[in-house]
Amino acid sequence: MAEAVLEAALDRALDQAAEVVGGSDELLLTCHKSPDGDALGSTLALHHLCRSQGRASQATWSEPYQVAPHYRFLPGLDLCTKPADTPQQPPVVVTFDCGSLGRLGDLTGPATWAREHGQLVVVDHHATNDRFGSLNVVDDQAAATVVLVHRLAQRLGWPLTRDVAMCLYTGLVTDTGRFTHSTTTPAVFALAEELSSFGLPIASMTRQLFESHRLAYLHLAGEALSRARLVPELSLVCAWVSRDDLARHGVTVDEVEGLIDLVRRTSEADVACVAKEADDGVRVSLRSVTHQEDGREWGVDVGAVATLMGGGGHRYAAGFTMPGPVPNVLAAFEEALAEHLRSQ
């Protein structure tokens, strides 16, 4: 019964979002700062859809206005607008994969204006989303935000194109961990089949997204892995990357986004943590192991712990950013994790 009520509410929100998007001649599309595959894929997909329908839209994200190397193949990046060149008082803003207003960075002001004077449409799948929009399309059961973008396109009656399909597939394959996370359902595979029917270069996309790294990154990763630390009493493994590491190897902080996927392979730990020094503070990525048996599923809720640290995310994949030297940040996280485990 509860699921039916939630689905009905989501349907209403999608209908309202379709009415807003379809009825607007000026749209600002954005996502969280330092966007990942789902954030970029969602934003670019709707940007392509709007352009295909003759709708004026601008797509952007906060400074640092750049994307990690493994996303640079995405079609439409050249059609995006620098945040400084976007309107400060847009009538409609649509945000993607963003759980809170602050995660918009430089776009917080325009989004606030739209919420107060027009429409701020929030499209997201994070359980920690705080519903900061005037209209919220949030489904924490969706495998990725691109799933909701796909449903929105269906509501609008706007047909997909190959570029749209490539962007949607990128968000789907990255946020499901190449279809290995527990969110991977028959519906996810059905959507992947639909998108792949547009003749997507699946093999080359997979290599670009997951398997292609500069040798400099591999050297840095090896160094970071060599000093990874196990905390047995918390079933935790931690690794970290300093500014000095990045400078010595000539690697950007965005290039080390996938390091968490190596660290999480540690068989002795249920929780993995990677801390990276960046201009906006220490960025911490978290993952936890999903256990499944006899139809039951359990694991450490790192999303809840990340929320305690001022971040957010999903039950088994989350993150946060905070100031301070790496040792202090890791110590604060370990304390929060210990408190969470004691409360369970």
What is the structure's pLDDT at 296? 80
What is the structure's pLDDT at 328? 97
Percent of the chain scoring above 70 in pLDDT: 100
Return the closest-CA partner of residue 171 out of 104, 124, 111: 124
In this chain, the answer to whether the domains covering 2-208 and 214-343 adopt an identical fold is no
What is the structure's pLDDT at 1? 57
What is the structure's pLDDT at 210? 93
Mention every residue, 6+ apart, whose C-beta is less than 8 A from residue 178: 206, 210
What is the structure's pLDDT at 297? 78
CA distance 241 to 220: 8
Q: Cβ distance 219 to 323 under 8 Å?
A: no
Task: Tell me: pLDDT of 121 over 60.
Answer: yes
Paired with 319 in beta bridges are 285, 312
Instruction: Write out pLDDT tens, residues 181-225.
Output: 888 999 999 999 999 999 999 999 999 999 999 999 999 999 999
The domain segmentation of the chain, as residue ranges, is 2-208, 214-343
Average of per-residue pLDDT across 117-140: 95
Domain 2-208 CATH assignment equals 3.90.1640.10: yes
Three-state SS for 50? helix
Predicted TM-score (pTM) of the model is 0.91
**CATH topology for the 214-343 domain:** Diaminopimelate Epimerase; Chain A, domain 1 (3.10.310)
Instruction: Write out pLDDT tens, residues 231-282.
Output: 999 999 999 999 999 999 999 998 998 899 999 999 999 999 999 999 889 9
Return the closest-CA partner of residue 66 out of 258, 317, 271, 253: 253
Return the closest-CA partner of residue 28 out of 108, 110, 98: 110
Instruction: Write out pLDDT tens, residues 269-322.
Output: 999 999 999 988 999 999 999 887 777 878 899 999 999 998 888 888 999 999
What is the number of helices (H) and of strands (E) in the chain? Answer: 12, 13
